[in-house]
Copies of this chain bind each other. A is one copy, B any other.
Amino acid sequence: MRDAIRVVVLGTGQMGSGIARLILAKEGLALVGVCARRSARAGKDAGEVLGLERPLGLPVRASLDEAIEHGRPDIAIQATCSRVADAAGEIGALVARGVNVISIAEGMAFPACSSPEEAARLHESAIAGGATVLGTGVNPGFVLDLLVIALSGACADIEAITARRVNDLAPYGPSVLATQGVGLTPGQFARGLADGSVVGHFGFEESVRMIARAVGWDIDRVDQTREPIVSSVRRETDFVTVEPGQVAGCFHTATALRRGEPVITLIHPQQIHPHLEDVDTGDTIEIRGTPSIRLAGSPEIPGGQAPVALAVNMIPRVLDAAPGLKTMADLPVPAAILGDARRLLRGGA
């Protein structure tokens, strides 16, 4: 069998650390580098930074070049940012050296959406470097786009698609809570929307455009709404306390119009402790068509664990793919890696 698949992880936050720990747990994958640019963590042993009980003998690198040089990775997983503009530099440097990339930056789920020119450049660079680049994540990248597209495949015709994801923000840290306006007054929330400090969900436009491209719909425009979820009760996490009358989260929707008609509606209310007001979390996909299809699950596929798993589980798919910039809809579906990851390579192990 070939040597273990060599993986470098970029980012040592919650996601990056989770990804690195999962790589360590998987047979056939080798963690050959951890990169934390411009961070006080650089130079420390990766085991310490990842919260392991043992040192790994692997220093956290501040420099991507050093991480590539010492790690000689087959693939890098990027968990450092959200926007294509922030992700593209690292990705370009990796593919130029022939390293495949999986990014969980939300914008990278469908980079042609926010950054068509940058996406075209990355695609060309990836092909030139003989490398594959994939953006993934639970949302965008899975629940409100890939699963929707897959279910559409069982339909002869479709009138409209509605998908809803109701989740709990309680596990998240202060930066996520701030972008959702948690803890603000309704007036502050409105001002936050206006000044861009409250943004709601990042990824609607990407999901809508992925679906539309997959089915061949030309979309006129995507309308988004963001409303404060004003709490009737006191809600509290380690990082924020919401009093009655304050904002517990953001009710964010996106509607794609085609020939003036709404054809794709994505609904994603995010808040802390929704159960305190008897709101069940969950994922629901409804397709009105021939046939109509509805699939739902409660609670939601969790936003903490699932992106970590998806990023790691897509490694064999990316290594098997042709060079270039890919979306989740361009590659075979992910599968949990439960045996030796090398055996899941179709190209032969």
Number of interface residues of A (CB under 8 A): 57
A142 to B336: give the CA distance in the assembly, Å. 17
| Given A216-B340, A291-B302, A296-B297: A153 touches B330 (CB 8 Å cut-off) | no
- The segment out of A107-115, A201-209, A306-314 that lies at the interface is A306-314
Q: Which of A143-151, A166-174, A223-231 contacts B (4 or more CB under 8 A)?
A: A143-151
Given contacts A330-B346, A332-B329, contact A309 B155 (CB under 8 A): yes
When the two chains form their complex, are residues A334 and B154 in contact, meaning their CB atoms are under 8 A apart?
A: yes
Chain B residues within an 8 Å CB radius of A294: 297-298
In the assembly, how many copies of this chain are there?
2
Interface SS majority for chain A:
mixed
Residues of B within 8 A of A296 (CB): 295-297
List of B residues within 8 angstroms of A346 by Cβ: 330
- Complex Cα distance A153/B315, Å? 11
Q: Are B335 and A149 closer than 8 Å at their CB atoms?
A: yes
Most buried by B among A154, A340, A346: A154
- On whether the beta carbons of B22 and A156 are closer than 8 Å, the reply is yes
With a CB–CB cut-off of 8 A, which chain B residues contact A302?
A: 291
Chain B residues within 8 Å of A338, by CB: 157-158, 215-217
Q: Closest CB-CB distance, A119 to chain B, in whole Å?
A: 15
Q: Which of B146, B157, B313, B341 contacts A333 (CB 8 A)?
A: B146
Give me 9 other A-B pairs in contact (C-beta within 8 A), A149-B334, A215-B335, A216-B344 excluded. A22-B156, A151-B301, A152-B336, A153-B309, A157-B336, A215-B337, A216-B340, A217-B339, A296-B296
